[in-house]
Amino acid sequence: SLPEGVVDGIEVYSTKISCKVTSRFAHNVVTTRAVNRADTAKEVSFDVELPKTAFITNFTLTIDGVTYPGNVKEKEVAQKQYEKAVSQGKTAGLVKASGRKLEKFTVSVNVAAGSKVTFELTYEELLKRNKGKYEMYLKVQPKQLVRHFEIDAHIFEPQGISMLDAEASFITNDLLGSALTKSFSGKKGHVSFKPSLDQQRSCPTCTDSLLNGDFTIVYDVNRESPGNVQIVNGYFVHFFAPQGLPVVPKNIVFVIDVSGSMSGRKIQQTREALLKILDDVKEDDYLNFILFSTDVTTWKDHLVQATPANLKEAKTFVKNIHDQSMTNINDGLLKGIEMLNKAREDHTVPERSTSIIIMLTDGDANTGESRPEKIQENVRNAIGGKFPLYNLGFGNNLNYNFLETLALENHGLARRIYEDSDANLQLQGFYEEVANPLLTNVEVEYPENAILDLTRNSYPHFYDGSEIVVAGRLVDRNMDNFKADVKGHGALNDLTFTEEVDMEEMDAALKEQGYIFGDYIERLWAYLTIEQLLEKRKNAKGDEKENITAEALDLSLKYHFVTPLTSMVVTKPEDNEDQTSIADKPGEEAIAETTTMSFLTTQQSSQSPYYYVDGD
């Protein structure tokens, strides 16, 4: 008779997700302990889904008390080991894109009868503020009853925590109530989810687990002041999120793909989303719709103010959007850009307004100008850096890299809209993010010669509910005070926010930082720098690309981050030969290719086992 929670001879007796968040920087450790209660060797699997925005920083295997640590290596170095494994007929995919927000980390090892194994995966991410809150997303999927299952999150925010909540998608509030505790006071917050075996059962007599879904922790911090600067060990981070400013009016052009591939549910969902968006457009805003298929059609010849009468007319127009023929992205975009430029030149839109262009497409350009490089050049020249382009890629049948490059070149961003029942909500959600610009042309300035290695410090917009984060290194780590200016254009006037930091005062405020982890600002700076370098790399060419790649690689290796340039290798000596695991990070473009990554669980006993990944 095997104890409860034993499946196929393997008992996973403990799973703990330990999260420590300091100033939005999350350090998560997922530890699973299992024992092989069978009479023969068994394979034990460890699956973790982690956010796409996270970087794995460590993975260790402990078998019978012996720990095998992970080492971050340049991807090419790891690739050679991979090729060696392939030549021996064994591959294993460790990390692959999984759904909208997650990547899946998978590893298996053979465990001798009676032996114990501990898997420990560590990853870090900077929690980004969206719609007024930080969200930490944890996937819970233990697959069997676990005697000791626990999520333990400690949050430390020097500004003080203003709200904290946690919810699980897979369990009712009644059951959650006794297993979940959440509390916050001052700078500290704590969330604990510790369901007993009985609480994990899908029914009172069941032996399978109901823990399968999303566990989300959300919180926000106090904002007595619009900015907050923290300095530790010579590194600083500056958070900026002013409140109470009026919204800058928008001139917004929606460039919508109505080609044949949008037919059916996609066009219906687009119509629904646009109708909802029209409900939220403010009267100070100006707008227009450009539809492109083989040809380009427009709702109006020029941008019009969002008066009730115009919105009513716009809704009628949207209701009558129909799909037809091919995809002429180039002409659609150029028409929208021309309209925004003309409105500004003719002064038909408010002087203190900001222009935004949002394109939605579900496919690649296949008529008119269809060469991606030429479209990029045309769009870049037409926009001339004057306003951002946001690209929404609907579904998987498109060149997402092209859309992303196009958006990044024009100070915008790309977002994938997943083909699902809630696609209309995803579209609306994106609009809500950019609907309320409070500042435009935001520049964060620091004293000259006082800082080094600054992360991005200029942003075309600051949107309500978001946050600008800038990090860097101080030239003189013993300086007494530190001053930062944030300049931006508001709806009514130009604003300069000044943040002065008294080092003594700040030391007192951060004295509890040891409570979490001391070098968090340095790691946050490294994370942000790598993330921005990788983004910049997408648009770079030639020597510039090489330099950026080298810089990002150096930082990834130095700070032990698994990025698209590195892999983590875990080597376990076995039978005089190495058993190797590799963790990779796939890019967004890997979504459509996930099926090509395989994980072979069958191994030939005559050959040493290899665990491998095939990333992007």
Q: Which residues bind other proteins (CB under 8 A)?
A: 224-226, 243-246, 490-500
Q: Residue 459 CB, nearest distance to other proteins (Å)?
A: 18
Identify the residue whose tokens are 């262009």.
357
Q: Which is nearer to other proteins, 62 or 162 (CB)?
A: 162
Q: Which is nearer to other proteins, 196 or 225 (CB)?
A: 225
Q: Residue 224 CB, nearest distance to other proteins (Å)?
A: 5
Q: Residue 248 CB, nearest distance to other proteins (Å)?
A: 10
Q: Which is nearer to other proteins, 500 or 577 (CB)?
A: 500
Q: What are the structure tokens assigned to 122, written together?
A: 């560590």
Q: Residue 349 CB, nearest distance to other proteins (Å)?
A: 16
Closest by CA to 354, choosing from 414, 439, 413, 415, is: 439
Q: Residue 229 CB, nearest distance to other proteins (Å)?
A: 12
Q: Which is nearer to other proteins, 256 or 491 (CB)?
A: 491
DSSP 325: S
Residue 313 belongs to what H/E stretch? helix 308-319
Q: Which is nearer to other proteins, 95 or 245 (CB)?
A: 245
| 263 Cβ neighbours under 8 A, 6+ residues apart | 323
Identify the residue whose tokens are 């002064």.
347
Q: Residue 432 CB, nearest distance to other proteins (Å)?
A: 21
Phi, psi of 247 (to 5 degrees): -75, 135
Phi, psi of 356 (to 5 degrees): -140, 140
| 206 Cβ neighbours under 8 A, 6+ residues apart | none
Q: Residue 243 CB, nearest distance to other proteins (Å)?
A: 7
Q: Which is nearer to other proteins, 191 or 491 (CB)?
A: 491
Burial classification of residue 576, based on how many CB atoms lie within 10 Å of its CB (0-12 exposed, 13-18 middle, 19 or more buried)? exposed
Q: Which is nearer to other proteins, 190 or 487 (CB)?
A: 487
Distance of CA 440 to the CA centre of its chain: 23
Distance, in Å, from the CA atom of 146 to the CA atom of 467, rounded to the nearest integer, reads 38
Distance, in Å, from the CA atom of 547 to the CA atom of 528, rounded to the nearest integer, reads 17
Q: Residue 226 CB, nearest distance to other proteins (Å)?
A: 6
Looking only at the bridges linking them, the beta strands covering 286-292 and 250-257 are: parallel
Closest by CA to 612, choosing from 29, 77, 106, is: 106
Distance, in Å, from the CA atom of 209 to the CA atom of 15, rounded to the nearest integer, reads 13
Q: Residue 230 CB, nearest distance to other proteins (Å)?
A: 16
Q: Which is nearer to other proteins, 223 or 342 (CB)?
A: 223
C-alpha separations of 178 from 137, 168, 185, 199, 450 in Å: 21, 13, 21, 9, 52
Q: Which is nearer to other proteins, 244 or 542 (CB)?
A: 244
Looking only at the bridges linking them, the beta strands covering 389-394 and 354-361 are: parallel
**Residue 86 burial (CB count, 10 A):** 14
Helical axes 520-539 vs 400-409, angle rounded to 10° = 100
Phi, psi of 372 (to 5 degrees): -55, -45
Q: Residue 222 CB, nearest distance to other proteins (Å)?
A: 10
Closest by CA to 536, choosing from 522, 524, 523, 552, is: 552
Q: Which is nearer to other proteins, 380 or 489 (CB)?
A: 489
Closest by CA to 479, choosing from 498, 504, 457, 499, is: 504
Q: Residue 350 CB, nearest distance to other proteins (Å)?
A: 11
Q: Which is nearer to other proteins, 223 or 344 (CB)?
A: 223
